[in-house]
A and B are shown apart, each in its own frame.
Chain A
Amino acid sequence: MEDMAIRSALFYISTKKQFENTAKGDTEMEESKLLLLLLPVLIIQLGLMIFALIDLIKIPVTNGPKWMWGVIIVVVNIIGPILYFVIGRRNY
């Protein structure tokens, strides 16, 4: 595990150095790197959305119509699921 983390870190650092060394306008490198960096962000976003949707399906009643919360969770990035957990869900 640790080994892998270090290696991927080294990979990132080397790409960063490469990136800095390459001339500006090498957009291909930039995009693939952006994707790798943002992948965990996307995974967490998706995870939040899935958790919120599962909960929405299982819970008997929400504050406000269920379909509306479904739309908010799916359409509004990050904030949607948080809003659902904080406001939409009847916690008490």
Chain B
Amino acid sequence: MNQFGVLLKKEWRENLRNYKLFWIPAVFILLGIMEPVSNYFLPQILDSVGNLPEGTVLEFPEPEPEQVMAAIMGQYQLLGLLIFVLAYMGTIAGERKSGTATLLYARPLSFSAYFMSKWVMATIIALLSVWLGFLAGYYYTYLLFGSIDFMNLMRFGLTYSFWILLVISIILAASALMPNAGLAAAVSLGIIFISQLVDGLLGTYWPISPLKLPAYAASWFENGLDMSDFWWSVSLTFMLIVLLVVIGILISAKKAASTKV
């Protein structure tokens, strides 16, 4: 078996045996379900907890199913990304710090196989979580609010998946660069959230940006998507992912000497 296969098997066993393969998708499914359910029961919940005078009639506009799906994505953008960062911050930095990497690095190890095995495994779990969460969320949305055009749903999911690939690449490159898991988390969170904040505040000036992919994903539901901006943003994201992976491989090789002996 080639090194990539051997190392991917190791990553698979790790994620299986520390239950990441189960708990991360479970959390995404929960988030996906709770959004439509809580939306649906919001009037009743407010009714039962709020001390409203007799006879008050609260009018809530029932959300469109598309809005519910976009709201699920909103949950993933905050809690979901945080979970990915916390789950994979130490995947390289932690191995170096604890010294478990030493026995790998002292062998004729291909660092591209090493980094890619981690990238592929984290990507599989992240995409599995996001898609299972979307599907579970859509099932509930469909039951409670109605259906969404299937193609638009797929476009929505695929566009968001591209953004998730970028997030995973950022986390892994940070883990390769930083001396420990905590700093890797801080750097990833900083890049992911601060850049989004900046893009949100000033982003009207540049329609082409990887950071706009989540917004573009939701735009599939509204017919208001400039295809040229969209494809340029996707291409830019793709290039960034490749760049981050190459940087990650080079840095993990360069910093191999910092593993604890």
A55 touches B19 (CB 8 A): yes
Q: A41-B30, A86-B87 are in contact. Are A30 and B18 (CB under 8 A)?
A: no
**Chain A residues touching B, majority SS:** helix
- Name the interface residues of B117-172: CB closer than 8 Å to any CB of A: 136, 139-140, 142-144
A81 touches B90 (CB 8 A): no
Residues of A close to B29: CB separation below 8 A: 44
The total of chain A residues at the interface (CB under 8 A) is 25
Say yes or no: is B176 at the interface (Cβ < 8 Å to chain A).
no
CA distance A27 to B18 in the complex (A): 43
Question: Nearest Cβ in chain B — how far from A1, in angstroms?
Answer: 14
Give B87's nearest chain A residue, CB to CB: A86
Question: Nearest Cβ in chain B — how far from A50, in angstroms?
Answer: 10
Q: Interface digits, B1-30 against A, CB 8 Å rule (1 contact, 0 not)?
A: 000000000000000001110110011011
Give B99's nearest chain A residue, CB to CB: A92
A51 touches B34 (CB 8 A): no
Q: A91-B90, A92-B100, A92-B181 are in contact. Are A51 and B22 (CB under 8 A)?
A: yes
CA distance A52 to B24 in the complex (A): 12
Say yes or no: is B33 at the interface (Cβ < 8 Å to chain A).
yes
Residues of A close to B19: CB separation below 8 A: 51-52, 55, 85
Say yes or no: is B83 at the interface (Cβ < 8 Å to chain A).
yes
Say yes or no: is A45 at the interface (Cβ < 8 Å to chain B).
yes
Residues of A close to B97: CB separation below 8 A: 92
Q: Which residues of B contact A (CB under 8 A)?
A: 18-20, 22-23, 26-27, 29-30, 33-34, 37, 41, 44, 83, 86-87, 90, 94-95, 97-98, 100, 136, 139-140, 142-144, 181
Q: Which residues of A contact B (CB under 8 A)?
A: 9, 12-13, 16, 30, 34, 37-38, 40-41, 44-45, 47-48, 51-52, 55, 78, 81-82, 85-86, 89, 91-92
